Amino acid sequence: MPLADTGENEVHMRRHLPALSTRGAIATVAVAVALAVSTAGIAAASYTVGDPQPELAQFHVGATGGTGTGAVLSDGTLVLASPSANDESINVCGLHPGNRACAWTAVLRAYAGGASPDTFSGIVEVVWTGGTDVSIVSEDCCYLQVGGFDGGAVVFDSTNDGRTFTAEIPAGTISSVGAATYADGQIVVGDQEISGFTQLQAFAPDPGSPTSAIALVGLANSYDTSLTTYNNGVLVASDNLNYSTVYFAHEASDFSSTGSYALVASFPGLVTGISGSALLTDPSSSLTGGELIRFFNGASFGGEIHVPDYHLGDDGYFSLQEVGRTAHVFFEGRRDSYDLLSETTTSAGHWSHQTQYATAIDAENLAPVLGPTGAGLVFENDGTPLLAQPILNAQSVHITFAIARVKVGHTAVLRGSVGPHLAGQVVTLERDASGKWHPMKTTHESASGAFAFSFATPAHSEAVRAVVRDKPGYYEYGYSNAATLVALE
C-alpha cells in the first residue's frame, strides 16, 4: 500500500508568525548516580561518541527556496522538493536513511518556450506512487501552451527514487496547487487559498492530456486546503477562516466530480492539517496553541482531544503526519527560541512526552516526512537555508548489577536490556569520572535485546551506564540509567 495511505502527503498550516526571541541552547547534564534515562534532543555533557547525540542535529538540504514537501519511498529513500528563490525551477534532494546531506539532487525547470520563463506557484508537492516511483506536482504559471493548455497543474515523474525525472507534463487545469495525495492510482490535488469553493482535481501520474473536470467542495471563500488518503479514498478539509468542513470521497470514486464528495464533519475554527485518519484544527483561530485533534472512523470523527501545549505556551506552526494509527504532531515553541517540539497520540487520547529539538526559527513551513516506523525528518523549508531535522525512534535501555556490592578486584556482573530489540547493535559500557563518561568495553545486543558485561571491581565505588549504538535513519542512541557499583575493601 502506498505510504500516502498513511498520510504521507498532507498539508500543514503555513501562516507566518513574528519571531519573538533568538535561539536558546538545549542542554542538560547527566547525573551519574541517579536514574538518567536519555531524552531525544537533550544533550548530556560527555566526550563519548553519540553523546550529545549528533544523529539528531539539523543539516542543510538546500541554500534557499519556497514551500515544499517530501515523501518516503518503499526502499526508505527520502525525496524532498521545493521551488527555487525565483520560482523558475524546483530543487529536488534525495537521501538514504541516515544521510546528513543530499545524496543526489535534481533541478526541474518550468516551461521556457515563451517570451519569458514560466514560474511555479503554490506548494511543490512530492507524491510517492509506489515502489521507486515518485511524482513532483506543482502549478506552472502562466505561459505554457501545449494542446491548448494555458497553465495549471503539472507533474514530473521519476522511476528511480527521484534521481532523474521526465520533462514537465501538463496534468490539470486547476487554478493552483496547495495540497496533494495519492489515492486509488491517481494523484489528487487541491487548490491553494483562493476566493471560492475548494477545488479538487485528479489525474494519473503520467496523464496523456490535461484534466479539465474540477470538483467543488467546502465553504465559499475557502482556505487552508488539506488532503489525505483514507482507505484509498480522499479526505479533504478546508475552512473559511471561521469554520472548517471535511468531505470524503470513497475508493473508486471520480475524484474530479463534486458529486463524489459527501460532507462528514464541520467544526469551528481553522484547519491546521489532515493526515490519514487524523484531523488537526484550531478552534480559536489564534494560531498560538489550543489545537484539537480528532480521528475519522470511515463515517464520522470521534470526540475532540486537546493537543498539550508547551509549558511556556504561545506555540505555533503546527503540522502533523499519521503513521499507522499514531499521529505525530509538530510545532514550534515561540517563547522558547522557536525550538521544534513533537508529541504523538492515538485515538485513545494518550500522549507521549514532548520531545524538544533545535530551533526552527528560520522555517516558515514544517513538513513531516516520516516512514512506516515513524522515523524520518521534518523538512524545515521556505527559508534560508533549507534544513532537515532528523526524527528518530528512541531506544529504552536499562541496566542493573547482579550484585551491587563487590570486593575490590573481584568480578562484577552487569546485565541490561534494550527495547525494541535490534540484534547485533553495539553496546558500550561507560564509567563516570568527574562528571564525564568514558568507555570501558563493548559488546553486542542479542536478538532478545539482552546484553551483559563483567569486569574487575575498581578500588573505588563508581557509576556506570550503557550506551546502545544508533541505527542511522531509524533509531537514536540509547542511554541507560546509571547504576552504582559499591567497592568493598
Half-sphere exposure of 377 (CA within 13 A, CB side): 36
CATH of the domain at 297: 2.130.10.10
**Average pLDDT of the residues in 12-16:** 34
CB 89 within 8 Å of CB 107: yes
Domain of residue 412, CATH code: 2.20.130.20
Distance of CA 486 to the CA centre of its chain: 45
Residue reference for cell 523538512: 379
Cell matching residue 347: 485515538
DSSP result, 116-128: S--EEEEEEEEEE
Over 80: is that where the pLDDT of 25 sits?
Answer: no
Stretch 209-236: mean pLDDT, rounded? 94
Q: Among the listed ranges 24-28, 130-134, 220-224, which one has the minimum average pLDDT value?
A: 24-28
Mean pLDDT computed over 338-360: 94
- 72 and 52 assigned to the same domain: yes
Strand spans (E) along 220-364: 223-230, 233-239, 243-249, 262-268, 270-275, 278-282, 292-295, 305-306, 315-323, 326-333, 339-345, 355-359
pLDDT at residue 118, as a whole number: 87
For residues 412 and 368, membership in a common domain is answered with no
**pTM of the full predicted structure?**
0.88
Mean pLDDT across 412-428: 97
Section 18-29 average pLDDT: 30
Q: Are residues 57 and 190 in the same domain?
A: yes
Same domain, 484 and 359: no
Q: Please, which pLDDT band fits residue 437 given cuts at 50, 70 and 90?
A: very high
pLDDT digits (tens, 9 = 90+) for 98-111: 999 999 999 999 98
Provide the 10 A C-beta neighbour count for residue 447.
Answer: 9
- Count of structural domains, the chain: 2
Question: What is residue 450's predicted lDDT score, i.e. its pLDDT?
Answer: 98
Q: Are residues 384 and 400 in the same domain?
A: no
Give the residue from 390, 412, 441 where a domain finishes: 390
Contact (CB, 8 A) for 302 and 294: yes
Residue 363 has a pLDDT of 87
State the Cα–Cα distance between residues 56 and 51, nearest whole angstrom.
10
Strand 405-407 to 483-488 pairing: parallel
What number of other Cβ atoms are within 10 A of residue 28's Cβ?
13
Give me the amino acid identity at 242.
Answer: N
Boundary (domain end) residue, out of 338, 366, 390:
390
Q: What pLDDT does 10 receive?
A: 42
As a whole number, mean pLDDT of residues 413-427 equals 97
Q: Average pLDDT for residues 203-208, to the nearest whole number?
A: 95
In b/e form, how buried is each residue of 61-88, taking b as 16+ CB within 10 angstroms? bbeebbbbbbbbbbebbbbbbbbbeebb
Cα(266)–Cα(272) distance, integer angstroms = 14
Which cell numbers hold the place of 37? 534515562
Please indicate, yes or no, whether residues 430 and 384 belong to a single structural domain of this protein: no
The answer, yes or no, to whether residue 94 has pLDDT greater than 80, is yes
pLDDT digits (tens, 9 = 90+) for 388-406: 999 999 999 999 999 999 9
Per-residue confidence (pLDDT) for residue 326, from 0 to 100: 97
- Do 128 and 176 belong together in one domain? yes
User: Is the domain of 216 the same as that of 92?
Assistant: yes
Q: What's the pLDDT at 132?
A: 97
Q: Please say if the pLDDT value at position 193 is more than 80.
A: no
Same domain, 427 and 459: yes
* Region of 362 on the Ramachandran plot (φ > 0 left; ψ -120 to 50 alpha; else beta): alpha
Alpha carbon distance 302, 297 (integer Å): 8
Given a cut of 80, is residue 377 above it in pLDDT?
A: yes
List CB contacts of 354: < 8 A, sequence separation 6 or more: 308, 310, 341, 342, 343
Q: How confident is the model at residue 42 (pLDDT cuts 50, 70, 90)?
A: very low
**What is the chain's mean pLDDT, rounded?**
87
Residue 438 scores a pLDDT above 50: yes
Query: Are residues 365 and 462 both part of a single domain?
Result: no
CA distance 111 to 93: 21
pLDDT band at 115 (very low <50, low <70, confident <90, very high): low
Lowest mean pLDDT across 4-8, 59-63, 210-214: 4-8
Instruction: Give yes or no for residue 409 having a pLDDT over 50.
Output: yes
Q: Enumerate the β-bridge partners of residue 72.
A: 78
50-66 pLDDT tens trace: 556 889 999 999 998 89
Give me the mean pLDDT over the 162-175 stretch.
94
Q: Within this chain, do residues 306 and 432 fall inside the same structural domain, yes or no?
A: no
List, for residues 125-163, the tens digit of each pLDDT value: 999 999 999 999 999 987 565 555 667 899 999 999 999
Q: Taking 70 as the threshold, does the pLDDT of residue 123 lie above it? A: yes
Query: Can you read off the three cell numbers belonging to residue 341?
Result: 517540539
At 301, the pLDDT band (50, 70, 90 cuts) reads very high
Percent of the chain with pLDDT over 70: 86
What pLDDT shows up at residue 9?
39
Comparing 2-16, 276-290, 358-372, which segment has the lowest mean pLDDT?
2-16
Q: How confident is the model at residue 178 (pLDDT cuts 50, 70, 90)?
A: very high
Domain endpoint, select from 375, 390, 405: 390
pLDDT for residue 86 is more than 50 = yes
Residue 443's domain comprises 396-488
Residues 386, 407, single domain; the answer is no
